A and B are shown apart, each in its own frame.
Chain A
């Protein structure tokens, strides 16, 4: 079945640690890829997106993600996390211009 998988349900890091959150999808065809973040008590907001071109995309707040087509992956990275990055992160895929499908989310806790 077509799906979006985020393998890490809860990640706990100390400040300044590096972050990588995995996202894999099983859709074929043309895909547009997104990472959204939901800070505690706030709305979901877009971190970054990939439509085409350079597979390494940079988003807000120092986040970046790399699209690896052969691996059907779009992992999110940040070299050095801060306490304020504590949030839930959602990977989303829109395949073949259909509806947006989200992963189950990864809760990130950054310890000060």
Chain B
């Protein structure tokens, strides 16, 4: 079974631009969560989508948004990029929503904002 895939793997943008990252979960998984990983802050939860609905949201500004499609693939969008948005963005999928479901992580998208 293929793992979680994320595209693109690397991205360089400039301040003020917007970016869209994509995540394809493991086949059959219906929940997708997004995290931002930085050296100083560790992993911080962005949001979780389940059955095309946002189930949970972390403490990030409205510039960060996401969506999930009927095939469970998910995208996250960051508008008006800031230097501080440079990070590794991780996607994790699980069979269902809820804490007892193990999350499987993708390789991440490394975003650099210049």
Contact = CB atoms under 8 A, between A and B. Distances in A.
A35 interface: no
B33 interface: yes
B58 interface: yes
A26 B90 CA distance: 25
Contact of A90 (B42, B100, B106): B42
Given A100-B103, A102-B44, 16 more contacts: A32-B100, A36-B105, A43-B106, A44-B92, A46-B102, A90-B42, A90-B43, A94-B99, A98-B99, A99-B45, A99-B58, A100-B45, A102-B35, A104-B41, A105-B42, A105-B43
A58 interface: no
Interface in B34-57: 35, 41-45, 48, 56
Interface of A: 32, 36, 43-46, 49, 51, 90, 92, 94, 97-105
Given A90-B42, A105-B42, A99 B56 contact: yes
